[in-house]
Amino acid sequence: MKLQVLMYYQDDPKKCTAAKMIKFNLAKPVKKIFSKTLVLHPFAEKTLIPSDKSTISSILGVDCSWSLAEKEFSKKFSGIKRKLPPLLAGNPVNYAKLNKLTTVEALSGALFILGEKKQALEILNKFKWGHTFFELNQNLLDEYSKIETEYEIPKILQEY
């Protein structure tokens, strides 16, 4: 699956997971978003489900500071906007915080839900703490990758 990143350059470049993904050719930086691009959008109305895979050609992570996220995501984006179902951050800055994911965590979570587990793990392997994200969320990701509608998510969360 093609991965893309829209960079806002608001965080420490040394800690920026999107910049590292670009450096290792795991994602491409973009300035324009196409209609069949899945845009990971934490404030979207709809939640990502496995069947979304049939309508997309690539996945885009928006790389911005969490302190500026509401402002940045209030802008109009082309593409298919989806939020991720609840996941715990595995990164050292926001460890175990719900939905405070880095760009690589968000992209990996989306890949996993869409059935691209191998690629999801490959991009996490570039980060010392990448395995932590997967370990914290493995059971949830397994369940999310099997759902048919977003209405199944509350039932999954009750079990955890």
- Tens of pLDDT, residue by residue over 149-158, are 999 999 999 9
Q: Can you give the pLDDT at residue 73?
A: 84
Query: From CA 29, how far away is CA 87, in angstroms rounded?
Result: 25
Predicted model pTM: 0.94
For residues 78 and 66, which has the higher predicted lDDT (pLDDT)?
A: 78
Residue 122 pLDDT level (bands cut at 50, 70, 90) = very high
Domains of the chain, by residue range, sit at 2-159
Look at the block and give the residue holding tokens 């509608």.
Answer: 149
Do 111 and 52 touch, CB atoms closer than 8 A?
A: no
pLDDT mean over 128-139 = 97
Q: Count the neighbouring beta carbons within 10 Å of the beta carbon of residue 86.
A: 16
